[in-house]
Amino acid sequence: MDALDKVSEPWVDWKEKIQPALMVSFAFLICLEACMWVRSHGQKKTPPGPFPWPLVGNVMQLGQMPHLTFCKMAQKYGNVFQIRLGNHDIVVLNGESTIREALVKHSAEFAGRPKFTSFQVVSGGKSMAFGGYTDLWKVHKRIAHSTLRAFSTVNTDTTKLFEQHVVAETQDLITVFLQLSSNGQYFDPYHECTVAVANVICALCFGQRYSHDDKEFRALVGRNNKFGQTVGAGSLVDIMPWLQAFPNPVRSLYKSFKDLNQEFFDFVKDKISQHRQTYCPDVTRDMSDAFIGHIEHGPGAGDGLSKDYVEGTVTDLLGAGQDTNSSALSWIILLLIKYPNIQVKLQEEIDQIIGEERLPTAEDKVTLPYVQAFIYETLRYTSFVPVTIPHSTTSDVIIDGFYIPKDTVVFVNQWSVNHDEVKWTNPDVFEPGRFLDQNGQLDRDLAYGVMIFSLGKRRCIGDQLSMLKLFLFTSILLHQCSLHPHPGDQITMDCVNGLALKPLPYRISVVPRHASPNQN
């Protein structure tokens, strides 16, 4: 024991001597670490947000209408805040200046898409809308955008072909409306609006329209409707993948989501296969021919895009175009019956400019400013695409002073722009006249301030085509008909959330105004 004590004595002496130095060094390191933390967090201030619960995060706080919840959260946390959904941190952007800074000024940094499992099954994995931001995606977008622009530019052969499809479909829709209104009957127009819009897109993509009773066509429309209902379930599985580990309703809906995508993609593949067999480079019959020409036979043969990108692009157009445009048309009709004085004012403008001898055309847009104002106010007021498809950051970026790291999922709340009390006077009031200047003409700057098609590199490439389609549907319908609500129904703006906001079922009756003229 004495020997052990003697051996330990030097160690005790050494420990007593060095301990103060260690404490000083440790304190110095703590101070240094604290300084570095303060400095780094001063440069990389993360967005604030509500407390997230284990496993689910803030899912239970979002409610049935997340865009409204985001607006309330923005009042507390500011235009840039962070929530947690499952195992994903989500940054939510609100307000026009913040969203424009992100999607326009930093367009490349916010051009990504999250690597969600559901995004990989849309359009056979060749989706432009849901695909990641890559060099191949840029080629894909350039080809798709140039093709769509050719079909939506006034006074071109392709635009006239598109216009003919819309006019024919609108006239057919009016015929169906009048049949359903016979003997004083009232009906819900949603299904017929969906059929009409889907027929326009099928004619545009395949050069073929269907009767309203066609089994193949009804199956197509049914798939799209179910897609809109189940896409939300897909998102839940994406952000909480552990839901796939055991039987539950969300997992069942997600399986349905994948099956619907595959069925829809198979339908498109069959149509494209028929087009390839009869393809002629000298004749562009429809948009499928145009994509086949660009991707398979054009200069550079698609610049790296494989043939199945043709099917992917057409599937995107059919899916997204039908759901959004049918929702818009349903809202237009609802607002026409909700505000009969506005309906009369619209008809007065159309009668004064167009007369009874012909139908409105695409060239009449500039001479019908109140019709255009009505459509823009419908888009603003309903904001039926309240939140864009989720973005993700492609690199670290700072927005409004907040640091957002690479691969962060980003939600863009378009509703917050369209209902901003600073930007719009009485935003919760439906008033088309807000879009007219002092000379009664469309205020284009104000109209372009409506955010429904997103911004930047992920802006919807079909925006011009959609606006032309809505103009023709609205102006021709009002030229030919008057629409009336069921006297026993209470007209409400309540809606159902899905891929797009849809109005609750309502009933109308349609009365003819003019004999349908021949349209050359």
For residue 495, list its beta bridge partners: 503
| CA distance to 180, 254, 515, per residue, from 358 (Å) | 25, 49, 10
Which DSSP category does 389 fall into? Answer: S
Distance CA 192, CA 494 (A): 20
Say which residues have a Cβ less than 8 Å from residue 79's Cβ, sequence separation at least 6. Answer: 93, 94, 95, 97, 98, 400, 416
| CA distance to 90, 129, 198, 224, 400, per residue, from 195 (Å) | 36, 23, 5, 11, 44
Total length of the chain: 520
Which pair of structure tokens corresponds to residue 423? 């930007």
Distance CA 441, CA 349 (A): 12
Q: How many other CB atoms are found less than 10 A from the CB of residue 54?
A: 6
Q: What is the residue whose two structure tokens read 């051996």?
A: 7
For residue 483, list its beta bridge partners: 510
**35 is an annotated ligand-binding site residue:** no
Distance CA 137, CA 114 (A): 14
Distance CA 296, CA 310 (A): 9
Say which residues have a Cβ less than 8 Å from residue 121's Cβ, sequence separation at least 6. Answer: 257, 258, 261, 262
Contact 91, 409 (CB under 8 A): yes
Distance CA 254, CA 116 (A): 12
Q: How many other CB atoms are found less than 10 A from the CB of residue 297?
A: 11
Contact 396, 403 (CB under 8 A): yes
Which pair of structure tokens corresponds to residue 114? 């999250």
Distance CA 230, CA 251 (A): 11
Radius of gyration of the chain (CA): 28
| Residue 263, SS3 per DSSP | helix
| DSSP assignment string, 366-378 | GG-HHHHHHHHHH
**Residue set of the binding site:** 460
**Residue set of the binding site for heme:** 460
